[in-house]
Amino acid sequence: MTNHTTSYPPVPGVLLSATAAGIRYQDRDDLALMALPAGARCAAVFTRNAFCAAPVLVAKRHLTRAAPRYLLINSGNANAGTGDQGLADAAASCAALAELAGCRPEEVLPFSTGVIGEPLPLPKLTAALPEALGRMREAAWPDAARAIMTTDTVPKLASRRFTAAGRTAVVTGMAKGAGMIRPDMATLLAFLATDLAVDQALLQHCLSTAMATSFNAITVDGDTSTNDACVLAAAGTLGNQPLQDPEAPDYPAFCAAVEAVCRELATAIVRDAEGATKLVRIRVAEARDAAEARRVADTIAHSPLVKTALFAGDPNWGRILATVGRAELDRLDIAAVRIWLDDLCIVSRGGRDPDYSESAGRTILAREELTIRVALGRGKATTELLTCDLSYEYVRINAEYRT
């Protein structure tokens, strides 16, 4: 697999477009369309929020009935918390596109992101569909990535090339997300496609595996959205025999490419988090099991006191120590716990490390990227979580989100 590139090669046979429907935003594209060739396969993962948005429910239903031909994505309105009318609107948007495109409504998957609790302006959306269909092209990934943005400040794209069936294959993806980000699928929309032909079950396995180290390993503010969705489409245009067995020689390279794209997109989301000034990796080691390691990482990442200290560049190591102590670990031996900022040990033997200095801590916290490492001294399990600081700007963005 090649290193990541700054270009985003199209996926043969996959067409995209972006257009301005005026759903909420003015003078910008807010409707994206992705068309898949006949015979394509789709895997998907959705939010675990009990208040699933209408498009999530409709997309889930459609996936059980047909192979998708179109993905219809709007920004500015989440169509969540909208009851029966929201479900009817999501279904109607699929029917409108299907009529224009000459496919069945069940072959359209709807996705929405934006303000919760407001009716979807369906007439605006459907009026923009002819233009969206007329603009479709393989190279429109950047246009579509911009159209699905809400509070994002930059579009998020990633791509990898890999070798399969003796040919060069590609995985390209786009995502949106900057706030309401917490691992529970993570709060975002993400769409990936490959030209490789892959069996449905294997495609789903690959996506679910990649989620664990990417979109489910990030958090910004501890909130989980109603609209989360990640889709991986296999267009099948490479000409290979469909991958059906996880032991197939080309499967590891494909999965590595998918995971790399997902991780790059997930990192871009945290880097662009609302008001964030720092990208922070939290690595927990020497836990008894993976669940314990993750519980400690979550406790640190979701602590407002830790996050505000990171924003201020304040090496208040006591806040990190306290979060580890309240992570509800059974019979934690505090004398065995060690904590570092990058390579600077700040806690050992139950207290401040004797070689730690506040000036050295401030130097590290002035960096735009840093790592908080915790060794629990209890076992061999590890985990890594990506998060950010909490700034005044985050409060302003979310206080003014609907004004």
Q: 185: helix, coil or strand? A: coil
Cβ–Cβ < 8 Å for 172, 141: yes
Task: Determine the residue type at 69.
Answer: R
**Pairwise CA distance, residues 185 & 396, whole Å:** 26
**Burial, 181: exposed, middle or buried (Cβ in 10 Å; 0-12, 13-18, 19+)?**
buried
CA-closest candidate to residue 282, choices 382, 377, 368: 382
Adjacent-strand bridge partners of 315: none
258: left (phi over 0), alpha (psi -120 to 50) or beta: alpha
Cα-based angle 142, 145, 147 (whole degrees, multiple of 5): 110
Which of 352, 347, 298 lies closest to 326, judged by CA?
Answer: 298
What DSSP designation does 232 have?
A: E
| Nearest CA among 265, 295, 268, 314 for reference residue 385 | 295
The number of beta carbons lying within 10 Å of the beta carbon of residue 144 is 23
Q: What angle do CA 229, 232, 233 make, to 5 degrees?
A: 130
Query: 138 near 173, Cβ under 8 Å?
Result: no
**Interatomic CA distance for residues 90 and 82, integer angstroms:** 10
Catalytic sites, residue numbers: 187
Structure tokens at 397: 């963005």
**What distance in Å separates the CA atoms of residue 230 and residue 185, rounded to the nearest whole number?**
8
Phi/psi of residue 325, each to 5°? -70, -25
Backbone torsions φ then ψ of 322, nearest 5 degrees: -65, -35
Write out the DSSP string of 315-352.
--HHHHHHHHHTS--TT--GGG-EEEETTEEEEETTEE
Estimate the share of the chain in helix, then strand, then coil, as percent rounded to the nearest 5: 35, 25, 40
Give SS3 for 310. Answer: helix
